[in-house]
Each structure stands twice: as structure tokens, then as C-alpha cells.
């Protein structure tokens, strides 16, 4: 009774203030909580702007409190999931440890300092026509709050694969990695943030996603390894939100002038120094109608200079800025700018409709000449949730014209560590994804899915004239993939998952260039896994 009274006080007397005073980010791999909030938004229980991820733990806690207020409208499975998540995100709600809390390896909280530590470990095994493959990982993650405004978090994961599952050219949904030696790789993420009632500022190294989606985002995705970024979020009004990043990308392009040779007791070698590469991006999100969000933004990938103060100004149209800096840059072609739009509607109960448009280059001259825009992609789809209780129907369509996400200067390509920052299918592609999901029990998620994807010729490699490429869409098809399967995952307790999956995959065309060897040709793959954390 006492805990319910506390929840009531928070809801009417400042839950927003308490939940937004400090921020650490919940990684995008935590799909279960993201899916639950999305379901609640589709049901009209909460209002959710889902165009930018990751969400902060404070935002998640705030939304769970809003769901708690309408718990009588939830079915039995949803109520159990709400109680389950409040055991974790109650850390952002309650002033002490006196609540029904999840297990943590170590947790401490007083009036000044909050600290949480948990381990990470997991294993996944695949078997198909190319043999058995094993991926295992281990590490730890922590987060802390200091005072009323400061948030700190860190996460380390060491990984091993028996057989490599992803490379920079692969048209694969699997996140990209940088292998250390053989099949080993690691990922260190974390950051420090300062938050206030209507915004936050942070220096973080993390993945991010821009653009509404269910299958894969198309503005910024988690395909590339995590990037270091200045991150600004402002929510000064109920109808407006602003997001900005300035990121330090990894070009992988050797700067021969700054590279140098050296000799020591181990012999003579060369230290390669890479050219600097940055991204600046902003996104303005407006809510003109209830449960409808419209977002507009732009970005620029720039190089051949240090981090420029003009690109540190959050609210700029960066292509226009580039026009005034061109003479000061060693790249006389200028930098690589992008423009994007996103629309999200949950105005029909049970249903989320969305469309994202990504423009790699907008030229009024070419528009007048050709009568159409050349370099853009579209990602559009819907999800219907709980029309039949605990079921989910999802459809998503993606298409990109040749040379979208591409650039003729390698130092300003829309990439980091040579992985595309946008959609995994990249340019000159078309694909669709269909999924039927069911959640019969708390924590159990079963999905049946089918996808088809096609990729055309690499016109960047061919040196095709950039003035007219629309007619070249998928002419010819260079790579094609069909996938179907069934996947089940069960969240036993917090952070502990077991999973099993069967997948049929058939890859045709230039699969040696675009597909990891483990999936060449036709395969029936079976996998099982268990993990504590991701």
C-alpha cells in the first residue's frame, strides 16, 4: 500500500522532474523494453516519440509510471511485464532501495550517489551446411548517478567467433565489428551526461538509431561500431523535441604525411595515422497533432580539417555552411551532406504507421532537368499490435536509389570503420520484411518472419555518371537474398535470456562480395543461445 501511495505522489507531483533529472542510456540491444514501450504507445496508453534511440533509463521509467497509472487497461501478460520492468527501472523512481527490486551483482543508493553493477556473459551456437559456429562473450556494465544532474555509464564486452559472421561489405543486419586478431573483437561503450528538467548534454561513445522502424532504421543505424559523440537533447515544449550529435568517425584512410616510420628493439615498422573524419547531425521533431510526430533534420560528414566550430552549432543547415567553408578546406568538392524526413502516426489504435525519407543530395538543377529527385531512400511500414491479444503483425518496405549513402571522396563517405551509417542494404537496393509475432506469456516472444532483399550494381565502383541514376535502379540485380524462419526468446529473469531459431536462407548472385562465407548459397541454419546481458 505504501509503495502504491508513493507511485501516486510521483505521478501527480513531479514524476517528470524526478525521472528526467539524470540520464544514462539503455542500449538499443535491449529489445524487450523497447518493444514493450512501443506496444503501449500503439495501444494509446502512452505517447512516445520513437524516432531517436537509445532512450535514457529516466525516460523509460517515466513512461512505465504512465503505464502504471492505466494498469487496469492492460491484459494479464502486459500487467506482469509492467511489474517486471518496474523492478529494474524503479531505481530511477524510488528514493531508496526499499522496493521490489531486481537482482543486481552490486547496487548502492543514498541521497547523493547511486551505483549499479552487473555482469555480462553469453553464448550462441549455429549449425548449417557450412558446419558449426560458436560466438561467446563476457564483460560487465555499470551506471551511476551523482547529485541531481550527473549520469555516468560504462559497458565492456569481449567477443569471440569461431567463424567470422560480418564484414564491411556484407549486406547483413548483424552489427559491424572491428576484429583485433583472428575472430576476436571487443566493444567499449559509455559516457557522462548532465541533465536538467527539459534537456541533457553528454559526451558518450555509443550506438544510436535515427528513424522509425521495426526491421532496420535508415537515417542512422547501429551497423557501424559505436562512435564517440557530443549529444544534445532538448524538450522545451510538449510539442517539440530537438536532437543533435557531433561525432568523431573512424575514416580508415591513411594520412601519408602524418604517418611515420620508427625503429626499436623489435625492428623497424610504420605507425599509420588516419585522416580525421567527423559527422554533425540534427533532428527537429514536432507534434502538430496528438500521437503524430513529424521530424526534419540534416547531417554532414566532413574531413580534411579539425573539428570545426561551425559544425558544433547544433541548429544549422550544414550544406549551406559547407558552401562558405569550401575555400578553407583542402577538399574543393566540399563535404558530404544529407537531409531527412520522418513521419510517425499512432492515431489509429493498435497501429503504428511510419515513413522515413533519406536524401543523400538535393539539387534543384537536377530536379528541373530530370523532373525527379535522384538520390534518396524510403523506409516505410506499419505494425498492428494486440488487435488479437498478444499478437503483432509487422510489415516494412525499403528502397534506395543508386549512390545513396555513397560519396566519391573516401574521407567523407557516410561510414565509420568502413561500415555504412545508414540502412544495411545501402544504395541501389529494395527489400521488404514481414513478421508475425506472439507473446503468450510474460517474457516469451515468438516470431515467424520472411524477408526478400535485392541489391543492384555498384555504380560507385563502375564510375557511373551521377547526373541521372534513377533509371539504373536494380538494373541488373547483382545480389539477392530470401530469408524465412521462426525464432523464440524467453527472458527468464532480468538480463537472462534463452533463445532458439531456425532460419532458411538462399543467397544468389555476387554473394562472395556481399555475404559472410558462413551463409553462402542455400542454408538451413539452427541456432540456440543463452546470455546474461547483451
Q: What angle do CA 383, 448, 400 make, to 5 degrees?
A: 55
Q: What angle do CA 416, 421, 424 make, to 5 degrees?
A: 120
DSSP run (H or E) holding 46: none
Percentages helix, strand, coil for the chain (3-state, rounded to 5) are: 20, 45, 35
Q: What region does 200 belong to: left with phi over 0, alpha with psi -120 to 50, or beta?
A: beta
The 8-class DSSP code of residue 165 comes to -
pTM of this prediction exceeds 0.85: yes
> For every one of its 534 residues, what pLDDT tens digit does the chain have, with 9 covering 90 and above?
444 444 443 343 444 434 446 899 999 999 999 999 999 999 999 999 999 999 999 999 999 999 999 999 999 999 999 999 999 999 999 988 889 999 999 999 999 999 999 999 999 999 999 999 999 999 999 999 999 999 999 999 999 999 999 999 999 999 999 998 889 999 999 999 999 999 999 999 999 999 999 999 999 999 999 999 999 999 999 999 999 999 999 999 999 999 999 999 888 999 999 999 999 999 999 999 999 999 999 999 999 999 999 999 999 999 999 988 875 444 456 899 999 999 999 999 999 999 999 999 776 666 656 656 678 999 999 999 999 999 999 999 999 999 999 988 899 999 999 999 999 999 999 999 999 999 999 999 999 999 999 999 998 888 877 766 778 899 999 999 999 999 999 999 999 999 999 999 999 999 999 999 999 999 999 999 999 976
Q: 375-378 — which CB contacts under 8 Å span 24+ positions?
A: 375/401, 375/403, 375/404, 375/469, 376/400, 376/401, 376/404, 377/218, 377/401, 377/404, 377/405, 377/422, 377/423, 377/427, 378/218
Q: What pLDDT is stored for residue 20 in this prediction? A: 43
How many other CB atoms are found less than 10 A from the CB of residue 5?
9
Q: What pLDDT is stored for residue 327 in this prediction? A: 58
Q: What pLDDT is stored for residue 6 in this prediction? A: 40
Domains of the chain (ranges plus CATH)? Answer: 2-532 (2.40.160.130)
Q: What pLDDT is stored for residue 31 in this prediction? A: 94
d(CA 37, CA 55): 11
Q: What pLDDT is stored for residue 98 in this prediction? A: 87
DSSP run (H or E) holding 512: helix 511-514
Q: What angle do CA 24, 224, 505 make, to 5 degrees?
A: 115
**All cell numbers assigned to 154:** 560504462
Q: What pLDDT is stored for residue 461 in this prediction? A: 84
Cβ-based neighbours of 471, under 8 Å, separated by 6 or more: none
Q: What angle do CA 393, 398, 401 make, to 5 degrees?
A: 170
The 3-state secondary structure of 56-87, one letter per residue? EHHHHHHHHHHHHHCHHHCCHHHHHHHHHHHH
The 3-state secondary structure of 169-222, one letter per residue? CCCCCCCCCCECCCCEEEEEEEEEEEEECCEEEEEEEECCEECCCCCCCCCECC
Q: Are 84 and 60 in contact (CB under 8 A)?
A: no
Amino acid at each position: 500500500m505504501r509503495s502504491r501511495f508513493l507511485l501516486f505522489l510521483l505521478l501527480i507531483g513531479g514524476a517528470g522532474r524526478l525521472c528526467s533529472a539524470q540520464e544514462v542510456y539503455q542500449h538499443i540491444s535491449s529489445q524487450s523494453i523497447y518493444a514493450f514501450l512501443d506496444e503501449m504507445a500503439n495501444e494509446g496508453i502512452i505517447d512516445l516519440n520513437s524516432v531517436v534511440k537509445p532512450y535514457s533509463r529516466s525516460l523509460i521509467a517515466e513512461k512505465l509510471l504512465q503505464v502504471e497509472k492505466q494498469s487496469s487497461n492492460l491484459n494479464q501478460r502486459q500487467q506482469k511485464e509492467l511489474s517486471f520492468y518496474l523492478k529494474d527501472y524503479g531505481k530511477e523512481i524510488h528514493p531508496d532501495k526499499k522496493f521490489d527490486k531486481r537482482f543486481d551483482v552490486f547496487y548502492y543508493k543514498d541521497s547523493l550517489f547511486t551505483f549499479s553493477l552487473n555482469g555480462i556473459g553469453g553464448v550462441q551456437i549455429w549449425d548449417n551446411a557450412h558446419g558449426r559456429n560458436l560466438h561467446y562473450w563476457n564483460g560487465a556494465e555499470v551506471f551511476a548517478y551523482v547529485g541531481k544532474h550527473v549520469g555516468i555509464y560504462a559497458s565492456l564486452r569481449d567477443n569471440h567467433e569461431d567463424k567470422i559472421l560480418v564484414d564491411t561489405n556484407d549486406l547483413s543486419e548483424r552489427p559491424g565489428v572491428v576484429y583485433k586478431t583472428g575472430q576476436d573483437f571487443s566493444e567499449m561503450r559509455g559516457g557522462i551526461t548532465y541533465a536538467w528538467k527539459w534537456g541533457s548534454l553528454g559526451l558518450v561513445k555509443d550506438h544510436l538509431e535515427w528513424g522509425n522502424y521495426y526491421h532496420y532504421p535508415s537515417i542512422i543505424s547501429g551497423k557501424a561500431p559505436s562512435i564517440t559523440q557530443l549529444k544534445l537533447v532538448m524538450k522545451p515544449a510538449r510539442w517539440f523535441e530537438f536532437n543533435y550529435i557531433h561525432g568523431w568517425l573512424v575514416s580508415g584512410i591513411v594520412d601519408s604525411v602524418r604517418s611515420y616510420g620508427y625503429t626499436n628493439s623489435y625492428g623497424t615498422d610504420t605507425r599509420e595515422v588516419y585522416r580525421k573524419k567527423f559527422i554533425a547531425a540534427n533532428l527537429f521533431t514536432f507534434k502538430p497533432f496528438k500521437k503524430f510526430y513529424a521530424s526534419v533534420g540534416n547531417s554532414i560528414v566532413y574531413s580534411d580539417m579539425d573539428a570545426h566550430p561551425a559544425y558544433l552549432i547544433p541548429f544549422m543547415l550544414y550544406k549551406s555552411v559547407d558552401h562558405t567553408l569550401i575555400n578553407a578546406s583542402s577538399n574543393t568538392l566540399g563535404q558530404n551532406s544529407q537531409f531527412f524526413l520522418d513521419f510517425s502516426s499512432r492515431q489509429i489504435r493498435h497501429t503504428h504507421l511510419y515513413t522515413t525519407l533519406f536524401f543523400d543530395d538535393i539539387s534543384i538543377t537536377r530536379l528541373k532537368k530530370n523532373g525527379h529527385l535522384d538520390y534518396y531512400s524510403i523506409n516505410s511500414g506499419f505494425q498492428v499490435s494486440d488487435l488479437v491479444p498478444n499478437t503483432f503483425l509487422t510489415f516494412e518496405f525499403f528502397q534506395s536509389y543508386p549512390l545513396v549513402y555513397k560519396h566519391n571522396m573516401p574521407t567523407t563517405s557516410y561510414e565509420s570503420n568502413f561500415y555504412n551509417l545508414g540502412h544495411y542494404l545501402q544504395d541501389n537496393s529494395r527489400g521488404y520484411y514481414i513478421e508475425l509475432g506472439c507473446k503468450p506469456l510474460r517474457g516469451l516472444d515468438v516470431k515467424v518472419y520472411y524477408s526478400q532483399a535485392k541489391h543492384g550494381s555498384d555504380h560507385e565502383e563502375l564510375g557511373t555518371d551521377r547526373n541521372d541514376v534513377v533509371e539504373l535502379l536494380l538494373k541488373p540485380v547483382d545480389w539477392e537474398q530470401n530469408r524465412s524462419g521462426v525464432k523464440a526468446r524467453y527472458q527468464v529473469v532480468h538480463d537472462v535470456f534463452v533463445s532458439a531459431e531456425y532460419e532458411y536462407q538462399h543467397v544468389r548472385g555476387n554473394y562472395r562480395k556481399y555475404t559472410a562465407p558462413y551463409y553462402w548459397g542455400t542454408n538451413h541454419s539452427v541456432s540456440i543461445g543463452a546470455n546474461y546481458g547483451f
